[in-house]
Amino acid sequence: MNVNGKHYRTIWIDPKENTIVKIINQRELPHKFEIENLIGSADAEVAIRDMYVRGAGLIGATAGYGMYLASLEASIQNKEKFNSYLIQVGKRLKATRPTAVNLALAVDRQLEAISKEESLENKIIIAKETAKKIADEDADSCRRIGEHGVKLIEEISKNKDGGRVNILTHCNAGWLAFVDYGSATSSIYNAFDKKIPIHVWVDITGPWNQGAKLTAWELEKHGVPYTVIADNTGGHLMQHGLVDLVITGTDRTTIAGDVANKIGTYLKALAAKDNNIPFYVALPSSSFDWKMKDGIKEIPIEERDSEEVKYATGLTKGNKIERVLLTPKESNAVNYSFDVTPARLVTGLITERGICKANEEDILNLFPEHKK
Ligand code: MRU
């Protein structure tokens, strides 16, 4: 996507020094656009855990590049130690954030690709190529999600007086959450570029505020009309006919169509159901967990530091980014980062292969290679 007229992906190898991986530091957005270097696998771990990068697709891509950096670190060792070092780094990367399935998928894909090569030199070459492939596939899937999802928006617009489609989204499932395009936002950008009249309701998405900080910034840069709303506003808007469609992303979707996404998504889905508003989830197939069925019982829900609930970060009048305490210092707080929306509340899934219902049969018809 473009930032001030220049095309960026969210992660790439430094073209001048191919042992360095570059990322956009999302902790500083929207107030500062800053590029950071990852020079070792430990940097990739920190970037994922502390949310310099975030979002299922980008976490997966960062883990892929993290494994490439690990292969460079391991190259001074012999072949046996090389493999065990990579396994160790893979474990550490997987432990950084448990909910997004893309992360484990990327690590396992790297381990498999690397283990097939004999020489250390080839192991490094394949690790670099695999990291690039994971990133390219992510971007390509998101681009295709947009081509399918735009049809839903177009259809609603055609059947509506005035044609303007109001879409509500939660958190950031934009290009910042992936390598490019985004999942939920890919259809939105596509609709805007096709001149379909749209407007986006952006949930602030506490406590990290991905909606207010990141989705708002992305839409602003692209010129898409949007309004930021407090997280509890969606139900009211829906009752008054001000939402035509909800599109969110997901960090892990089970084969039965249960969707784990940013905390609060479930409440949006309940309100959408009660008001007969379509609730779609956009995802590349790398966010399906082909082994899990029951999302509520099986999907691991990340619990982050409660300090993220007690503090907020923003720009002061003096133009400094600062963190302030919101609660009494002594307050207890808890910070579940995701919740699960059961398949029965999901109207459909927008994938790179098309749109399907959120149930095992329809998902597997679109992805028959995962049929047992
Ligand atoms: O904690 P984050 O910012 O990594 O979580 C991201 C989300 O949950 C988003 O809602 C998104 O829809 C899923 S990632 C594309």
pLDDT of residue 80: 76
Among 54, 101, 283, say which to mutate for ligand 1: greatest number of ligand atoms within 8 Å of CB: 54
The average pLDDT across 343-372 equals: 97
User: Half-sphere exposure (CA, 13 Å, Cβ side) for 112?
Assistant: 6
What pLDDT digit, counting tens, does each position of 283-325 carry? 999 999 999 999 999 999 999 999 999 999 999 999 999 999 9
The answer to which of 78-87, 136-145, 347-356 has the lowest mean pLDDT is: 78-87
Residues 44 and 65: beta-carbon distance below 8 Å: yes
Distance 308 CA to ligand 1 centre (A): 16
Nearest to 251 by CA among 184, 305, 205, 347: 184
The average pLDDT across 44-72 equals: 98
Residues of CATH 1.20.120.420 domain(s) within the chain?
Answer: 2-138
pLDDT of residue 249: 98
Query: Which of the four pLDDT bands, split at 50, 70 and 90, describes residue 75?
Result: confident
Handedness of CA 214, 215, 221, 226 (dihedral sign): negative
Question: How many angstroms from the chain centroid is the CA of residue 59?
Answer: 8
pLDDT of residue 68: 98
The average pLDDT across 157-185 equals: 97
The average pLDDT across 269-296 equals: 98
Handedness of CA 284, 287, 291, 295 (dihedral sign): negative
pLDDT of residue 66: 98
- Measured in degrees and rounded to the nearest 5, phi and psi for residue 354 equal 135, -170
- Measured in degrees and rounded to the nearest 5, phi and psi for residue 331 equal -55, 140
Q: Is the CB of 173 under 6 A from ligand 1?
A: yes
The rounded distance, in Å, linking the Cα atoms of 141 and 317 is: 41
pLDDT of residue 76: 75
The average pLDDT across 175-199 equals: 98
Task: For residue 57, give the 3-state DSSP assignment.
Answer: helix
CB proximity list for 43: less than 8 A, separation 6 or greater? 37, 69
Distance 303 CA to ligand 1 centre (A): 14
Nearest to 358 by CA among 239, 245, 234, 260: 260
Residues of CATH 3.40.50.10470 domain(s) within the chain?
Answer: 148-370
Residue 234: pLDDT over 90? yes
Looking at 203, 231, 244, 251, which residue is catalytic?
251
pLDDT of residue 23: 98
Q: How far is CA 292 from CA 121, 257, 260, 261, 287, in A?
A: 37, 10, 12, 15, 12
Q: How far is CA 257 from CA 31, 172, 285, 347, in A?
A: 37, 20, 12, 10
CB proximity list for 289: less than 8 A, separation 6 or greater? 101, 252, 253, 254, 255, 299
- Count how many residues are written for the chain: 372
Nearest to 104 by CA among 60, 49, 40, 56: 60
pLDDT of residue 79: 72
Q: Is the CB of 261 under 6 A from ligand 1?
A: yes
Tokens for 360, please give them.
């095992």
The average pLDDT across 45-73 equals: 98
CATH classification code of 2-138: 1.20.120.420
Class of domain 148-370: alpha beta
pLDDT of residue 92: 98
The average pLDDT across 32-48 equals: 97
Residues 159 and 169: beta-carbon distance below 8 Å: no
Q: Where are the alpha helices (DSSP H) in 38-119?
A: 41-49, 56-74, 79-96, 101-115
Average pLDDT, the chain: 97
Active site residue 251: yes
The rounded distance, in Å, linking the Cα atoms of 298 and 283 is: 19
Q: Is the CB of 247 under 6 A from ligand 1?
A: no
Q: Is the CB of 153 under 6 A from ligand 1?
A: no
Residue 225: pLDDT over 90? yes
pTM passes above 0.75:
yes
Position of tokens 């220049």? 6
Residue 77: pLDDT over 90? no
Shortest-distance Cα residue to atom 5 of ligand 1: 55
Distance 250 CA to ligand 1 centre (A): 6
Distance 181 CA to ligand 1 centre (A): 14
User: Half-sphere exposure (CA, 13 Å, Cβ side) for 287?
Assistant: 34
